[in-house]
């Protein structure tokens, strides 16, 4: 077999109609070896393309032995373990990184992000929302929302309580993946598909959406919206926000560079370069007017904030007397002004 983008074996949940609600992949593989893929193809009749193949326990037993015999002991052992599951099993093969076409494919891509195998914007997620059913996430697992009343009644008749944690398309990341070296105070606030870098602390009010996250050591007490990636050493103060593409950022990919600080209750609608600071309570949107100041706090020019996108060493603040939004740079606003015109 030729090269393959990703391969994973999972345990999932289906509704009464046989539709997939979710899939758990304990060990997704990125760019698996061709020898492993050949064994899987031979055993499951895979002929190419992106597919989610339902697998029986008997098939798992045969497949696991064949994979181990081919020299892939760890993967073979995992597949063999799946035999004991009483839930539906699936082998998902992504020959290429294209828009997902099924729920198991969509869940595999979210797993790749949370397992830190790919970074935000490093995998195609176009069209993912229709493939993620709205699910009741409960102490009894994922339940189809339309089947929830009957399941609640059935639980009560047994003297049990069915606790519904959330109704959402995305589950909590930690129900599927717990990456090493992180602290997450409220796990419900980090969705599957988040990339949480080693050394990151997410406090109770922090939130990380799918296809977003942190590259490394960061303190997150604010919101990291979908598509936003935060560089190493950057901190997000309490209640602050980053504007995602879906929430009004348009085609601008919002990002935060390394060593930045977004103050409490502040926010950004432009990407920040390295070592930038946004004063507490100040929300910078792309079209807002910003006064560039020199080292002596003299006005150099008034520009729109989008012209400062991705620039380094900036301090954004609000003048307490006039209310004007100002920007200073360690290199002086004159030099920054030259860079702006050089990009035109």
Least confident of 97-106, 215-224, 288-297: 288-297
Q: What is the DSSP string of 152-184?
A: HHHHHHTT----EEEEESS-BGGGT---TT-EE
Pick the more confident residue, 337 or 223.
223
Q: What are the tokens at 283?
A: 């929300």
**Could you tell me the maximum CA-CA distance found in the chain, to the nearest angstrom?**
76
Four-residue CA torsion sign, 245, 237, 208, 143: negative
Q: What is the pLDDT of residue 252?
A: 77
Contacts of 254 (CB under 8 A, 6+ apart): 225, 227, 228, 242, 243, 244, 245, 268, 269, 270, 271
- How far apart CA 294 and CA 232 sit, in angstroms, is 28
Question: How much of the chain exceeds pLDDT 70, in percent?
Answer: 93
pLDDT grade for 344, boundaries at 50, 70 and 90? very low
Q: Which domains does the chain have, with CATH numbers?
A: 6-130 (3.30.70.2010), 137-168 (3.30.60.70), 173-342 (2.160.10.10)
Using CB atoms within 10 A of its CB, is residue 254 exposed (0-12), middle (13-18) or buried (19+)?
A: buried
- How far apart CA 79 and CA 89 sit, in angstroms, is 10
Using CB atoms within 10 A of its CB, is residue 297 exposed (0-12), middle (13-18) or buried (19+)?
A: exposed
Q: Could you give the residue numbers annotated as active site?
A: 221
Query: Comparing C-alpha atoms, which of 276, 243, 280, 278 is closest to residue 264?
Result: 280
Region 155-166 average pLDDT: 96
Contact 235, 222 (CB under 8 A): no
pLDDT tens for 242-289 read 998 654 445 678 999 999 999 999 999 999 999 999 999 999 999 999
pLDDT grade for 294, boundaries at 50, 70 and 90? confident
Q: Which residues, in sequence order, are bridge partners of residue 79?
A: none
């Amino acid at each position: 077999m030729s090269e393959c983008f990703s391969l994973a074996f999972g345990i999932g949940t289906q509704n009464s109609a046989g539709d997939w609600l979710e899939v758990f992949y304990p060990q997704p593989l990125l760019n698996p070896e061709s020898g492993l893929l050949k064994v899987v193809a031979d055993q499951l009749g895979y002929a190419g393309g992106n597919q989610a193949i339902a697998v029986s326990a008997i098939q798992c037993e045969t497949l696991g032995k064949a994979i181990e015999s081919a020299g892939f002991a760890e993967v073979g052992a995992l597949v063999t373990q799946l035999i004991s599951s009483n839930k539906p099993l699936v082998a998902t093969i992504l020959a290429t990184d294209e828009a997902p076409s099924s729920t198991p494919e969509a869940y595999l891509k979210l797993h790749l992000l949370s397992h830190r195998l790919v970074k935000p914007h490093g995998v195609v997620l176009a069209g993912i929302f229709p493939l993620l059913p709205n699910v009741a996430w409960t102490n009894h697992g994922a339940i189809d929302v339309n089947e929830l009343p009957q399941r609640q009644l059935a639980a009560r008749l047994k003297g049990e309580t069915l606790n519904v944690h959330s109704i959402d398309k995305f589950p909590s990341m930690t129900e599927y993946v717990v990456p090493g070296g992180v602290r997450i105070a409220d796990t419900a606030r980090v969705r599957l598909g988040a990339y949480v870098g080693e050394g990151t602390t997410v406090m109770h009010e922090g939130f990380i959406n799918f296809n977003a996250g942190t590259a490394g050591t960061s303190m997150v007490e604010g919101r990291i919206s979908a598509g936003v990636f935060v560089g190493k050493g950057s901190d997000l103060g309490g209640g602050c926000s980053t504007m995602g593409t879906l929430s009004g950022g348009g085609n601008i990919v919002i990002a935060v560079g390394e060593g930045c600080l977004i103050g409490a209750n502040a926010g950004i609608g432009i990407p920040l370069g390295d070592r930038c600071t946004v004063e507490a309570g100040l929300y910078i949107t792309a079209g807002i007017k910003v006064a560039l100041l020199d080292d002596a706090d003299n006005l150099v020019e008034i520009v729109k904030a989008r012209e400062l996108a991705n620039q380094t060493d900036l301090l954004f603040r609000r003048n307490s007397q006039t209310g004007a939004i100002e920007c200073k740079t360690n290199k002086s606003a004159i030099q920054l002004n030259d860079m702006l015109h050089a990009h035109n």
